[in-house]
Each structure stands twice: as structure tokens, then as C-alpha cells.
Amino acid sequence: MIDTVFFDLDNTIFDFNKAEHIALAKTLEELGIPPSEETCARYSVINLAQWKLLEKGVITRREVKLRRFRLLFEELGSDASPEQAAATYESYLGIGHYFMEGAEELLQSLYGHYRLYLATNGTAAVQKSRLSSADLERYFDGIFISEEIGFNKPDVRYFESCFARIPGFSRESSVIVGDSLSSDIQGGAGAGLRTIWFNPAGVPLSEASGGENIMPDREIRRLSELPQLLVEM
Ligand SMILES: [Mg+2]
């Protein structure tokens, strides 16, 4: 029986793609760069690649924040400051929050029936600001932000640090729900958790895993499927 649920935050509870797009457009505008669809799409590709490098331990969080803008500005031939862009972007990102469809209803329905924890790779200042602006802390028994933990998902040390902070924790009765195969599912499984892959776009597993052997225990397309699934698990 499941009694403890870890939730990823971005693109699982919060619609990060939307928040990112709005914060990015405002930042570029402020720096005098037209936030065209093409430019925003390039940023997304570059940004994702930097986060993958962070997951692999190749670069630091600070480098992610600067490199994504530096690489974008290089491509655009812009002499805008990556440092200024990073600071502006984070301040905008901290203001906005947008829920994934059904996320608030989901948390309301699980609250009181399960111990709920947030497990996120975000930046502490940004995530805390977004959580409090969305009034979300009240649902969670604990919020584990990788910057504060000192390790990032999928590092097993991240998960072990989380487990150590949970009284009476048991892997057998715990599950992680997240949209990322590499950080949530592979990381969770590596730490001994059961895993539920949130796959709203219905991307085939073989495609989403990029050839890596990652096998979630369960998969959902909508958050509204989760309450029943947790009972069955
Ligand atoms: Mg995510």
C-alpha cells in the first residue's frame, strides 16, 4: 500500500513550459531582443541541453543559468549580458506560476490521505517564491529542493538525503510521480522507489527514453488518473 508520494514540480505540478516562455519573452524584450517564436524555441533546446549536462554532473547549476543565455546570444550575434539576462529571467520566473491541468484538484484530493513531498531540481529562491505565490506549501509534508539538498535528481544521494529527512520512511510504500524519465523515473527507481511516469503528450517510451533502458512501473496521461492508480498500487 502506498502512503508516501514524491512529486516532481516542473511540468508535473507547475506548467513550467508556459512559465518559462513568459519569463523568457519578458527578459528578451527588456534586453532589446525580439522574443520571436524561433528565438524562444532555440532557448528551450539550449536550456534543456544544459540541464542534461547538470544531471550528468558535467556543469554546475550556476553554469546552466549563464550558459543557456551565453550560447543563445552567441547564436543571435547579440552582445547582451548573460549575467543580466539570468538575473532578470529568474526574477520573472519567481513571480509567475501556472498549474498543469488538474494539479490543484489532485493535491486537494490526495491531501490528508498520503504524505506528500516535493522533489525538485530547481533553484531554491525561484522555487520557494513560486510555491508561496501559488500557496502550495500547505499540501506538502516536506519540500526537497536539490540546491538545498546538495545533489540533483537522479543522483541517488539526492534521494537518500530526502529519505533521511522523512520520519518512518519506507521505500516499499513510496512512489515518485514525474514527467522526466532521466531524473524522476531513473533516479527514483535507482533509489528503490516505485515510479509513475507522467506523460501528458503521450510520447512513446522508446522515443522519450532516447534509447536508454528506463522502465517506469506505471504511466499516466492525466493527473486525474493518479488517485485511483495509487489505491491500486
Ligand atoms: Mg519535471
111: CATH: 3.40.50.1000
The least confident of 15-29, 160-174, 184-198 is 15-29
- The pLDDT value recorded for residue 125 is 87
Per-residue model confidence (pLDDT) at position 133: 87
Give pLDDT tens digits for 43-85: 989 998 998 898 888 999 899 999 999 999 999 999 999 999 9
State how far the Cα of 171 lies from the Cα of 216, in Å rounded to an integer. Answer: 16
- Write down which residue in 76, 93, 110 finishes a domain: 93
- Same structural domain for residues 26 and 114? no
The verdict on 20 and 8 lying in the same domain is no
User: Which domain-ending residue is among 93, 124, 156?
Assistant: 93
- Cβ proximity of 51 and 68 under 8 Å: no
Q: How many domains does the chain have?
A: 2
Residues 82 and 145 in one domain: no
Q: What is the pLDDT of residue 61?
A: 86
Picking from 25-29, 52-56, 150-154, 176-180, which range would have the lowest pLDDT averaged per residue? 52-56
Whether 210 has a pLDDT exceeding 90, the answer reads no
| 38 in the same domain as 151 | no
pLDDT digits (tens, 9 = 90+) for 87-143: 999 889 888 789 999 999 999 999 999 999 999 998 898 889 889 989 999 999 999
Out of 43, 63, 93, pick the residue that ends a domain: 93
Looking at the fold, whether 121 and 211 belong to one and the same domain comes out as yes
Distance between Cα 60 and ligand 1 center (Å): 18
Q: Check whether residue 44 and residue 118 sit in a common domain.
A: no
pLDDT at 79: 96
Q: What per-residue confidence (pLDDT) applies to 130? A: 87
**C-alpha to C-alpha distances, 230 to 2, 101, 116, 176, 179, nearest whole angstrom:** 6, 19, 12, 11, 17
Residue 184 CA, ligand 1 centroid: distance in Å: 8
Give me the domain span that covers residue 85: 16-93
How many angstroms does the Cα of residue 233 sit away from the middle of ligand 1? 22
Q: Which grid coordinates belong to 210?
A: 532516447
pLDDT > 80? residue 156: yes
Residues 198 and 127 in one domain: yes
- Alpha carbon of 143 to ligand 1 centroid (Å): 15
User: Which CATH number belongs to the domain containing residue 26 in this structure?
Assistant: 1.10.150.240
By annotation, the residues acting in catalysis are 8
Supply the pLDDT for residue 49. 95
In contact, 158 and 187? CB cutoff 8 Å: yes
Mean pLDDT of 166-192: 97
Those residues whose beta carbon sits under 5 angstroms from the ion ligand 1 are 8, 10-11, 179-180
The whole-number average pLDDT for the span 8-31 is 94
Q: How confident is the model at residue 211 (pLDDT cuts 50, 70, 90)?
A: confident
Proportion of the chain in helix, strand, coil states, percent, rounded to 5: 55, 15, 35
Q: Is residue 195 a contact partner of residue 2, using CB atoms and an 8 Å limit? A: no
Whether residues 156 and 186 fall in one domain:
yes
Same domain, 138 and 63: no
- How confident is the model at residue 20, as a pLDDT? 86
pLDDT-based confidence at residue 208 (cuts at 50, 70, 90): very high
Pair (106, 193) in one structural domain: yes
Q: In whole numbers, what is the pLDDT of the chain averaged over residues?
A: 94
How far, CA to CA in Å, does 222 sit from each of 16, 120, 186, 187?
16, 20, 20, 22
Same domain, yes or no, for 11 and 32?
A: no
Which band of pLDDT confidence, cut at 50, 70 and 90, is reported for residue 179?
A: very high
Tell me, yes or no, whether 152 and 45 share the same domain: no
